Amino acid sequence: MRGVEAPQLRPLGVGDIVDRVFSMYRQRALLFMALAAVPYLALFLVIGGLVLSLAAQLAWLGPFLDSLTAPNFRAPNPTFTPSSLFFLIAFAVAASLISVLFLSVQIGSLVDAAAARYLGKETTVGSSFRAGLRVAPKIIAAGVLLFVALFVGWIALFVVVALSNNGIVAAVAILAGLVATVYVFASWLVAPVVAALEPVGPLQAIRRSWWLSNGHRWRILGLQILLAVLQTVLSTLISFIFIAAFISDVTVRLVLQQVVNVIATVLWAPVEWGTFTILYFDLRVRKEALDLQLAAEALPRQA
């Protein structure tokens, strides 16, 4: 297997980070695609098994959804029972938890592979996947802490708005909440990467992500916006070229559109998490002189 050269670490601009991500992706496309696709495939198989096992309890959903999407809309006439509603809620909760678990494994695997490749090391699907399994609980815990913090913050905000009973106060409070949410999002964006690569707990990963992001939040937001624009443009082009331009049947087009969206999501995941991984190293270069540290470690040791 061909080796790779370790990069000359230096502070990178937004365009440099994206360019290095795509270059790294091209070099080992099969590695990154496998790490992104395997958890998705396993997730679909597990969710599909749940659907089949609860088919009898969820059978009422078919007529119910048909009534909502019928050309001549008619009021839904649900035939579910309390027990079938319970099974629906249980299925939704189980599917959500399973999705979080499998996607966290995917994130950990992709981060491990991207870090190895970026630092000039070889890795395999098996070793990166095992790393993803190992760090998935920390990634999940960090995500839960972020969700709880934002949820509690917004609940407190709505309480203030309700107690004030003033339109101006409500508008200012909601605007402040949106700004704070974006600020927190930019501060904790690399927390999953920290959790995956460093021997710290989820709370320490969040704190470290916050510290690394200090002074760089606008650049982080700009990078995220650039990724969102690129993903939207590429998905739209793929959908038009392979579906809209050649398929006239509406039903077939909708089904294929969903399939293409899933494939595009899988193929894009290495770009997304590879970008955050390189961003993590870039922040460490800027704030901790990681480039000098690695250069010193590479020097031959005297006896």
Q: What pLDDT, on the 0 to 100 scale, is given for residue 47?
A: 82
Digitized pLDDT (tens) for each residue of the chain, 303 residues in all: 444 555 556 778 888 888 899 999 998 899 999 999 998 888 888 887 877 776 665 555 555 555 545 555 555 555 556 666 676 777 778 888 888 899 999 999 999 999 999 888 888 999 999 999 999 999 999 999 999 999 998 898 888 888 887 878 888 888 988 999 999 888 998 999 999 999 999 999 999 999 999 989 998 998 989 988 888 888 777 766 666 556 666 566 666 777 777 788 888 999 999 999 999 999 998 888 776 666 655 555 544
Give domain limits for the chain.
25-291
Q: What is the pLDDT of residue 8?
A: 59
Confidence at residue 234, expressed as pLDDT on a 0 to 100 scale: 81
Query: Of 75, 133, 69, which Cα lies nearest the Cα of 104?
Result: 133
Q: Is 200 exposed, middle or buried (0-12, 13-18, 19+ CB in 10 A)?
A: middle
Given this model, what pLDDT does residue 278 score?
93
b/e burial code for range 230-263 (CB count within 10 A of at least 16 → b): ebeeebeeebeeebeeeeeeeeeeeebeeebeee
Res 1: pLDDT = 43
Whether pTM exceeds 0.85:
no
How many CB atoms lie under 10 A from the CB of residue 293? 13
What's the pLDDT score for residue 292? Answer: 62
For residues 272 and 227, the answer to whether their CB atoms sit within 8 Å is yes
